[in-house]
């Protein structure tokens, strides 16, 4: 059973997760493929995309790189 953050579904986490999902889908990459490339668990990536987990900067950096973006570009894509 995953441990959810007390910030679960915080609007900024949802916005960030939506941006990750949008970019991932625009590149025609599955959650499984992105998780493998970013070296994170697929279920964790799913929680990030739903805004259910507070994500560490290093994990965000890994996701951004796996999507071919800088961290700054990913944050800008989310409008944060």
Name the average pLDDT for the chain.
92
In the chain, % of residues over pLDDT 90: 85
pLDDT digits 0-9 by tens, 38-73: 999 999 999 999 999 899 999 999 999 999 999 999
pLDDT of residue 4: 58
Contact present, 50 and 61 (Cβ < 8 Å)? no
Q: How many residues would you count in the chain? A: 80
Taken in order of first residue, the domains within the chain and their CATH numbers are 11-78 (1.10.260.40)
Stretch 12-20: mean pLDDT, rounded?
96
Q: With 80 as the cut, is the pLDDT of residue 1 above it?
A: no
Q: CB atoms < 10 A from the CB of 30, how many?
A: 11
């Amino acid at each position: 059973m995953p441990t959810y953050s007390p910030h679960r579904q915080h609007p900024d986490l949802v916005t960030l997760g939506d941006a990750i999902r949008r970019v991932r889908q625009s590149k025609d990459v599955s959650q499984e493929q992105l998780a493998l490339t970013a070296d994170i668990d697929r279920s964790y990536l799913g929680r990030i995309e739903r805004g259910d987990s507070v994500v560490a900067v290093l994990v965000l950096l890994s996701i951004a790189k796996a999507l071919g973006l800088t961290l700054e570009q990913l944050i800008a894509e989310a409008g944060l």
